[in-house]
Amino acid sequence: MPHCSRSKLSPNNLAFPLMTEFLSKSEQLRIKVHNQHGTTLIDCGVHVQGGWEAGILFASVCLGGLAQVKQHWVDFDGLRWPAVEVITDHPIRACMASQYAGWPIQNNRCLAMGSGPGRAIVHEGVLFKKFGCEDQSDTVIICLESEELPSEEVVKYILEKCHCASTCLYILVAPTASQVGSIQVAARALETGLSKLMELGYDLDKIDSGWGICPIPPVACDNLSALGRTNDAILYGATVLYNLRDDDQALESLVKKIPSCSSREYGHLFGDLYKKCGNFYDIDPMLFSPAEVWLSNINSGNSFHAGSLRSDILRTSFGLQRN
Protein backbone atom coordinates (compact mmCIF):
# COMPACT_ATOMS: atom_id res chain seq x y z
CA MET A 1 0.00 0.00 0.00
CA PRO A 2 1.45 3.46 -0.94
CA HIS A 3 2.55 5.61 1.98
CA CYS A 4 -0.14 8.28 1.54
CA SER A 5 -2.37 7.27 -1.38
CA ARG A 6 -5.58 8.88 -0.14
CA SER A 7 -5.79 11.42 2.66
CA LYS A 8 -7.96 14.26 3.89
CA LEU A 9 -4.74 16.32 4.02
CA SER A 10 -4.93 18.09 0.67
CA PRO A 11 -1.71 20.08 0.10
CA ASN A 12 -3.47 22.31 -2.46
CA ASN A 13 -6.30 23.14 -0.07
CA LEU A 14 -3.97 23.59 2.90
CA ALA A 15 -1.70 25.90 0.89
CA PHE A 16 -4.54 28.03 -0.50
CA PRO A 17 -4.78 30.37 2.56
CA LEU A 18 -1.11 31.16 1.94
CA MET A 19 -1.99 32.04 -1.65
CA THR A 20 -4.66 34.45 -0.46
CA GLU A 21 -1.98 36.10 1.68
CA PHE A 22 0.16 36.55 -1.44
CA LEU A 23 -2.79 38.16 -3.24
CA SER A 24 -3.84 40.46 -0.39
CA LYS A 25 -0.30 41.62 0.53
CA SER A 26 1.35 41.91 -2.88
CA GLU A 27 2.73 45.41 -2.33
CA GLN A 28 4.02 44.56 1.15
CA LEU A 29 5.64 41.37 -0.15
CA ARG A 30 7.13 43.20 -3.18
CA ILE A 31 5.62 40.75 -5.65
CA LYS A 32 3.44 41.23 -8.75
CA VAL A 33 0.18 39.45 -9.51
CA HIS A 34 -0.78 38.82 -13.15
CA ASN A 35 -3.91 37.35 -14.69
CA GLN A 36 -3.47 35.25 -17.83
CA HIS A 37 -6.85 34.23 -19.23
CA GLY A 38 -8.11 33.47 -15.74
CA THR A 39 -4.94 31.84 -14.39
CA THR A 40 -3.21 33.69 -11.57
CA LEU A 41 0.55 34.17 -12.05
CA ILE A 42 2.56 35.52 -9.13
CA ASP A 43 5.98 36.97 -9.95
CA CYS A 44 8.21 36.62 -6.87
CA GLY A 45 11.49 37.76 -8.37
CA VAL A 46 11.56 37.74 -12.18
CA HIS A 47 10.60 41.41 -12.73
CA VAL A 48 10.18 42.40 -9.08
CA GLN A 49 12.33 42.47 -5.95
CA GLY A 50 10.54 39.99 -3.72
CA GLY A 51 11.94 39.61 -0.20
CA TRP A 52 12.26 37.66 3.03
CA GLU A 53 8.55 37.40 3.74
CA ALA A 54 7.71 36.32 0.20
CA GLY A 55 10.45 33.68 0.38
CA ILE A 56 9.05 32.13 3.55
CA LEU A 57 5.55 32.12 2.05
CA PHE A 58 6.82 30.60 -1.21
CA ALA A 59 8.55 27.79 0.70
CA SER A 60 5.46 27.21 2.85
CA VAL A 61 3.26 26.94 -0.23
CA CYS A 62 5.76 24.60 -1.88
CA LEU A 63 5.48 22.31 1.16
CA GLY A 64 1.71 22.18 0.74
CA GLY A 65 0.98 23.98 4.01
CA LEU A 66 2.17 20.86 5.84
CA ALA A 67 5.27 22.34 7.50
CA GLN A 68 6.37 25.23 9.67
CA VAL A 69 8.86 27.46 7.88
CA LYS A 70 10.83 30.00 9.92
CA GLN A 71 13.90 32.16 9.52
CA HIS A 72 16.43 33.32 12.12
CA TRP A 73 20.16 33.73 12.79
CA VAL A 74 22.22 30.59 13.44
CA ASP A 75 25.87 29.75 14.10
CA PHE A 76 27.17 27.46 11.34
CA ASP A 77 30.52 26.14 12.54
CA GLY A 78 31.62 29.62 13.65
CA LEU A 79 29.80 31.47 10.87
CA ARG A 80 26.78 33.39 12.22
CA TRP A 81 24.36 33.69 9.31
CA PRO A 82 20.61 33.86 8.48
CA ALA A 83 18.95 30.46 8.16
CA VAL A 84 15.64 28.90 7.19
CA GLU A 85 14.15 26.14 9.32
CA VAL A 86 11.55 23.57 8.21
CA ILE A 87 9.61 21.35 10.61
CA THR A 88 7.02 18.80 9.51
CA ASP A 89 5.06 15.85 10.87
CA HIS A 90 4.23 14.84 7.29
CA PRO A 91 7.65 14.55 5.61
CA ILE A 92 6.60 12.33 2.69
CA ARG A 93 3.51 14.29 1.70
CA ALA A 94 5.08 17.72 2.33
CA CYS A 95 8.61 17.17 0.98
CA MET A 96 8.45 14.34 -1.54
CA ALA A 97 4.91 14.61 -2.94
CA SER A 98 4.80 18.43 -2.98
CA GLN A 99 8.11 20.24 -2.54
CA TYR A 100 10.32 17.92 -4.59
CA ALA A 101 11.22 19.65 -7.89
CA GLY A 102 10.53 16.64 -10.06
CA TRP A 103 8.62 18.21 -12.95
CA PRO A 104 10.86 19.80 -15.64
CA ILE A 105 8.89 22.19 -17.86
CA GLN A 106 10.32 23.84 -20.96
CA ASN A 107 9.51 27.55 -20.84
CA ASN A 108 10.72 29.30 -24.02
CA ARG A 109 14.55 29.17 -23.82
CA CYS A 110 14.57 28.20 -20.12
CA LEU A 111 13.96 24.92 -18.35
CA ALA A 112 11.71 25.63 -15.38
CA MET A 113 11.60 23.16 -12.50
CA GLY A 114 8.07 22.58 -11.28
CA SER A 115 7.20 21.72 -7.70
CA GLY A 116 4.49 22.43 -5.17
CA PRO A 117 1.09 20.98 -4.24
CA GLY A 118 -0.03 20.64 -7.85
CA ARG A 119 2.38 17.75 -8.35
CA ALA A 120 0.07 15.58 -6.23
CA ILE A 121 -2.61 16.24 -8.85
CA VAL A 122 -0.40 15.72 -11.91
CA HIS A 123 0.72 12.52 -10.14
CA GLU A 124 3.55 11.57 -12.48
CA GLY A 125 6.96 10.07 -11.80
CA VAL A 126 8.57 7.32 -9.76
CA LEU A 127 7.78 9.05 -6.46
CA PHE A 128 4.03 8.85 -6.99
CA LYS A 129 4.17 5.24 -8.15
CA LYS A 130 5.89 4.48 -4.85
CA PHE A 131 4.05 6.72 -2.39
CA GLY A 132 0.74 7.61 -3.98
CA CYS A 133 -0.15 10.86 -2.21
CA GLU A 134 -2.96 11.66 -4.63
CA ASP A 135 -4.77 14.98 -4.23
CA GLN A 136 -8.15 15.56 -5.87
CA SER A 137 -8.47 19.26 -5.09
CA ASP A 138 -10.14 21.55 -7.64
CA THR A 139 -7.59 24.23 -6.74
CA VAL A 140 -4.11 23.66 -8.19
CA ILE A 141 -0.94 25.45 -7.04
CA ILE A 142 2.35 25.09 -8.93
CA CYS A 143 5.71 26.61 -7.97
CA LEU A 144 8.26 27.28 -10.73
CA GLU A 145 11.97 27.94 -10.31
CA SER A 146 12.54 29.95 -13.48
CA GLU A 147 14.16 33.08 -14.89
CA GLU A 148 10.99 33.83 -16.88
CA LEU A 149 7.27 33.97 -16.26
CA PRO A 150 5.48 31.05 -17.94
CA SER A 151 4.39 31.59 -21.54
CA GLU A 152 0.81 31.04 -22.64
CA GLU A 153 1.87 27.65 -24.05
CA VAL A 154 3.30 26.59 -20.68
CA VAL A 155 0.17 27.68 -18.82
CA LYS A 156 -1.96 25.75 -21.31
CA TYR A 157 0.26 22.69 -20.84
CA ILE A 158 -0.07 22.87 -17.04
CA LEU A 159 -3.85 23.26 -17.30
CA GLU A 160 -4.05 20.17 -19.49
CA LYS A 161 -1.88 18.12 -17.14
CA CYS A 162 -3.81 19.22 -14.06
CA HIS A 163 -7.27 18.93 -15.64
CA CYS A 164 -8.45 22.10 -13.94
CA ALA A 165 -10.23 25.31 -14.87
CA SER A 166 -7.97 28.29 -15.62
CA THR A 167 -9.50 30.23 -12.71
CA CYS A 168 -8.45 27.44 -10.32
CA LEU A 169 -4.75 27.46 -11.29
CA TYR A 170 -2.19 29.50 -9.35
CA ILE A 171 1.46 29.65 -10.45
CA LEU A 172 4.26 31.07 -8.29
CA VAL A 173 7.54 31.96 -10.06
CA ALA A 174 10.96 32.84 -8.66
CA PRO A 175 14.44 32.63 -10.23
CA THR A 176 17.26 30.94 -8.34
CA ALA A 177 19.11 34.28 -8.34
CA SER A 178 16.58 36.14 -6.21
CA GLN A 179 15.87 36.60 -2.53
CA VAL A 180 12.84 34.32 -2.75
CA GLY A 181 14.89 31.80 -4.73
CA SER A 182 17.64 31.71 -2.09
CA ILE A 183 15.14 31.04 0.69
CA GLN A 184 12.95 28.50 -1.06
CA VAL A 185 15.94 26.40 -2.19
CA ALA A 186 17.52 26.48 1.28
CA ALA A 187 14.16 25.27 2.62
CA ARG A 188 14.67 22.05 0.62
CA ALA A 189 17.38 20.61 2.90
CA LEU A 190 14.95 18.21 4.61
CA GLU A 191 13.65 17.01 1.23
CA THR A 192 17.23 16.59 -0.03
CA GLY A 193 17.97 14.22 2.82
CA LEU A 194 14.84 12.20 2.08
CA SER A 195 15.84 11.99 -1.58
CA LYS A 196 19.27 10.67 -0.54
CA LEU A 197 17.62 8.05 1.69
CA MET A 198 15.46 6.96 -1.22
CA GLU A 199 18.56 6.82 -3.46
CA LEU A 200 20.10 4.50 -0.88
CA GLY A 201 17.04 2.25 -1.07
CA TYR A 202 15.78 3.08 2.42
CA ASP A 203 12.10 2.52 3.23
CA LEU A 204 10.75 6.05 3.79
CA ASP A 205 7.62 4.57 5.40
CA LYS A 206 9.74 4.23 8.55
CA ILE A 207 10.19 8.01 8.85
CA ASP A 208 7.76 9.71 11.22
CA SER A 209 8.77 13.39 11.15
CA GLY A 210 11.60 15.72 10.17
CA TRP A 211 13.36 18.94 11.12
CA GLY A 212 15.92 20.74 9.00
CA ILE A 213 17.87 23.99 9.01
CA CYS A 214 20.01 25.56 6.28
CA PRO A 215 21.85 28.87 5.75
CA ILE A 216 20.21 31.24 3.29
CA PRO A 217 22.80 32.09 0.62
CA PRO A 218 23.23 35.73 -0.43
CA VAL A 219 21.58 36.52 -3.75
CA ALA A 220 24.06 35.81 -6.55
CA CYS A 221 24.68 38.05 -9.56
CA ASP A 222 23.44 35.44 -12.06
CA ASN A 223 21.54 32.15 -12.06
CA LEU A 224 24.58 29.93 -12.61
CA SER A 225 26.30 31.43 -9.57
CA ALA A 226 23.03 31.14 -7.63
CA LEU A 227 22.84 27.46 -8.56
CA GLY A 228 26.26 26.97 -7.00
CA ARG A 229 25.53 28.92 -3.84
CA THR A 230 22.16 27.33 -3.11
CA ASN A 231 23.55 23.82 -3.52
CA ASP A 232 26.61 24.64 -1.39
CA ALA A 233 24.30 25.92 1.36
CA ILE A 234 22.70 22.47 1.63
CA LEU A 235 25.81 20.35 0.95
CA TYR A 236 28.02 22.19 3.45
CA GLY A 237 25.67 24.04 5.79
CA ALA A 238 22.42 22.10 6.30
CA THR A 239 21.54 19.92 9.29
CA VAL A 240 18.54 17.57 9.26
CA LEU A 241 16.99 15.28 11.86
CA TYR A 242 14.52 12.49 11.18
CA ASN A 243 12.45 10.70 13.82
CA LEU A 244 11.94 7.13 12.62
CA ARG A 245 11.28 3.56 13.70
CA ASP A 246 13.94 0.99 12.86
CA ASP A 247 16.67 -1.26 14.20
CA ASP A 248 19.59 0.50 15.90
CA GLN A 249 22.21 -1.58 14.15
CA ALA A 250 20.74 -0.71 10.74
CA LEU A 251 20.63 3.01 11.57
CA GLU A 252 24.20 3.08 12.87
CA SER A 253 25.36 1.79 9.48
CA LEU A 254 22.91 3.86 7.42
CA VAL A 255 23.64 7.29 8.91
CA LYS A 256 27.25 7.25 7.65
CA LYS A 257 26.03 6.93 4.06
CA ILE A 258 23.64 9.91 4.09
CA PRO A 259 25.62 13.19 4.46
CA SER A 260 27.30 14.86 1.49
CA CYS A 261 30.72 13.85 2.86
CA SER A 262 29.92 10.27 1.73
CA SER A 263 30.52 11.40 -1.89
CA ARG A 264 33.83 11.21 -3.74
CA GLU A 265 33.18 14.79 -4.94
CA TYR A 266 32.70 16.22 -1.45
CA GLY A 267 34.71 19.34 -0.62
CA HIS A 268 34.44 21.02 -4.03
CA LEU A 269 32.33 24.09 -4.72
CA PHE A 270 29.19 22.96 -6.51
CA GLY A 271 29.57 25.64 -9.16
CA ASP A 272 33.00 24.27 -10.08
CA LEU A 273 31.63 20.73 -10.30
CA TYR A 274 28.75 21.86 -12.47
CA LYS A 275 31.04 23.70 -14.89
CA LYS A 276 33.33 20.67 -15.08
CA CYS A 277 30.52 18.14 -15.66
CA GLY A 278 28.17 20.35 -17.69
CA ASN A 279 24.98 19.00 -16.08
CA PHE A 280 23.54 17.51 -12.88
CA TYR A 281 23.47 13.96 -14.16
CA ASP A 282 27.26 13.58 -14.41
CA ILE A 283 27.76 14.70 -10.80
CA ASP A 284 27.96 11.90 -8.23
CA PRO A 285 24.35 11.44 -6.98
CA MET A 286 25.70 10.64 -3.51
CA LEU A 287 26.77 14.30 -3.18
CA PHE A 288 23.20 15.64 -3.12
CA SER A 289 22.57 15.54 0.61
CA PRO A 290 22.68 17.75 3.72
CA ALA A 291 26.01 18.32 5.44
CA GLU A 292 24.96 16.87 8.79
CA VAL A 293 22.37 14.19 9.60
CA TRP A 294 20.71 12.91 12.79
CA LEU A 295 18.56 9.77 12.91
CA SER A 296 16.51 9.46 16.12
CA ASN A 297 15.05 6.01 16.68
CA ILE A 298 11.64 6.20 18.35
CA ASN A 299 11.77 2.45 19.04
CA SER A 300 14.95 2.53 21.14
CA GLY A 301 15.36 6.17 22.13
CA ASN A 302 18.87 6.25 20.63
CA SER A 303 20.09 8.79 18.05
CA PHE A 304 22.80 8.45 15.41
CA HIS A 305 24.88 11.18 13.79
CA ALA A 306 27.17 11.69 10.80
CA GLY A 307 28.62 14.56 8.80
CA SER A 308 29.79 18.06 9.72
CA LEU A 309 29.35 21.68 8.71
CA ARG A 310 31.98 23.44 6.56
CA SER A 311 31.95 27.18 7.18
CA ASP A 312 35.21 27.52 5.22
CA ILE A 313 33.51 26.37 2.01
CA LEU A 314 30.41 28.46 2.74
CA ARG A 315 32.52 31.61 3.17
CA THR A 316 34.10 31.08 -0.25
CA SER A 317 30.83 30.14 -1.96
CA PHE A 318 28.88 33.03 -0.43
CA GLY A 319 31.58 35.58 -1.34
CA LEU A 320 32.03 36.67 2.27
CA GLN A 321 34.82 39.22 2.53
CA ARG A 322 37.06 39.16 5.60
CA ASN A 323 38.11 42.44 7.23
What is the predicted pLDDT for the residue at 126? 63
Side-chain-facing half-sphere of 143: CA atoms under 13 Å: 34
Task: Sketch out the chain's domains with CATH numbers.
Answer: 11-317 (3.30.1030.10)
CA 76 to chain centre: 20
Q: Determine the Cα–Cα distance for residues 255 and 200; give it in Å rounded to an integer.
A: 11
Cα–Cα distance between 225 and 283 in angstroms, integer? 17
pLDDT tens series, the chain, 323 aa:
345 544 578 999 999 999 999 999 999 999 999 999 999 999 999 999 999 999 999 999 999 999 999 999 999 999 999 999 999 999 999 999 999 988 888 766 667 888 999 988 887 666 666 776 778 889 999 999 999 999 999 999 999 999 999 999 999 999 999 999 999 999 999 999 999 999 999 999 999 999 999 999 999 999 999 999 999 999 999 999 999 999 999 999 999 999 999 999 999 999 999 999 887 778 999 999 999 999 999 999 999 999 999 999 999 999 998 76
Q: What three-state secondary structure class fits 39?
A: strand
Q: By the 8 A CB rule, do 88 and 66 touch?
A: yes
Quick one: which of 68, 82, 69, 26 has its CA closest to 50? 26
